[in-house]
Amino acid sequence: MSRISVSRYYATTLGSIYKWPPKSFPTPFEIFKLPITATEEEIKRRYYELVKIYHPDRSGDDSPEALEKFRKVVKAYEILSNKNQKEMYLRYGFGWDTTNSFKYKPRASYNYTNSNNWYDNEEFYKGPFSTTERYMSNPYFAALVITLAIFGAGIQALRLDSSINLIKTAEQRHNALAAHNLAKARHNRRIYGKRRKAELK
């Protein structure tokens, strides 16, 4: 049996064990058939096994569907093998390019102080099959932005009005002080004038 035949036989054998998920948009965990608690070593080992199944040179299938499956295997490994990407995917569904990627729905009754990660509690975690929307729709987002803009404009208007009042108050005090000094000067001038006239007589 040739090397290529052996590879394809091995791929067929593994393929019967790790069948492709029947869902139209499987998650990385469904493709790898691993739980979210899988270790790095388990993820790496499973990736090598899946490559032997879905790599076009191994399977002998270079159809668009087969190539897409292999692309998803590689993409899933990129997410699951990178700590930061995996965390972002688990929390927000970021990084996975299917329309049915993981979406997390929290439960109000869960006590976050009992666990280092929100997905440690098996009862609390509902898996990557939630259909709850994780994004705010465009109309709601636009309304939020407009509301914040109006609120910010109102705050600025109040601050401007307060500044104008302070300037007016300072101007009034300055005018009052100037009027007082002018009146005092005129009073002193009258007194000095009377004394001067008396001295000249």
Instruction: Establish if 76 belongs to a structural domain.
Output: yes
d(CA 51, CA 95): 20
As a whole number, mean pLDDT of residues 71-88 equals 94
144 lies in a domain? no
Residue 2 pLDDT: 54
pLDDT at res. 30: 93
Last residue of a domain, one of 135, 164, 181: 135
Does residue 141 lie in a domain region? no
pLDDT, residue 176, reads 85
* Mean of the per-residue pLDDT values of the chain: 76
The band of 72, judged by pLDDT with boundaries at 50, 70 and 90, is very high
Radius of gyration of the chain measured on its C-alpha atoms: 38
- 161 and 124 assigned to the same domain: no
Report in angstroms the alpha-carbon separations of 57 from 15, 46, 112: 15, 18, 47
Q: pTM of this prediction?
A: 0.44
Tell me, yes or no, whether 108 and 199 share the same domain. no
Domain boundary among 135, 166, 190: 135
Give the mean model confidence (pLDDT) for residues 85-114: 63
Give the single-character DSSP code of 82: S
- Cβ–Cβ under 8 Å, residues 73 and 51: yes
Residue 54 Cα distances to 3, 4, 6, 92, 139, angstroms: 17, 14, 15, 28, 42
Give yes or no: residues 113 and 160 share one domain: no
Do 33 and 128 fall within a single domain?
A: yes
Same domain, 77 and 166: no
Does residue 190 lie within any of the structural domains? yes
CATH code: domain of residue 84: 1.10.287.110
Do 11 and 88 lie in one domain? The reply is yes
- The residue whose two tokens read 């990660």 is 117
Q: Quick one: pLDDT at residue 174?
A: 84
Report the pLDDT value the prediction gives residue 131, as an integer from 0 to 100: 44
* pLDDT-derived band at 120, boundaries 50, 70, 90: very low
Answer whether residue 156 is part of any domain: yes
Statement to judge: residues 126 and 171 lie in one domain: no
Integer CA distances (angstroms), 165 to 155, 168, 173, 176, in order: 15, 5, 12, 16
- Any domain includes 143: no
Residues 75, 31 share a domain: yes
Nearest-angstrom CA–CA distance, 95 and 99: 11
Q: What is the pLDDT of residues 133-176, one digit of tens each?
A: 445 567 778 888 899 989 888 888 888 888 888 888 888 888 88
Is 145 among the domain residues?
no
Residues 6+ apart with CB under 8 A from 60: 4, 8
Contact 25, 100 (CB under 8 A): yes
Q: Are residues 90 and 188 in the same domain?
A: no
pLDDT given at position 8: 53
Please check whether residues 57 and 123 belong to one and the same domain.
yes
Into how many domains does the chain fold?
2
Domain that residue 177 falls in: 152-201
The pLDDT of residue 101 is 45
Instruction: Choose between 8 and 132: higher pLDDT.
Output: 8
Asked if residue 47 lies in contact with residue 32, where contact means CB atoms within 8 angstroms, the answer is yes
129 and 160 belong to one structural domain: no
Position 62 in a domain: yes
pLDDT value for 132: 44
* pLDDT band per the 50, 70, 90 thresholds, residue 129: very low
Do 61 and 11 share a structural domain?
A: yes
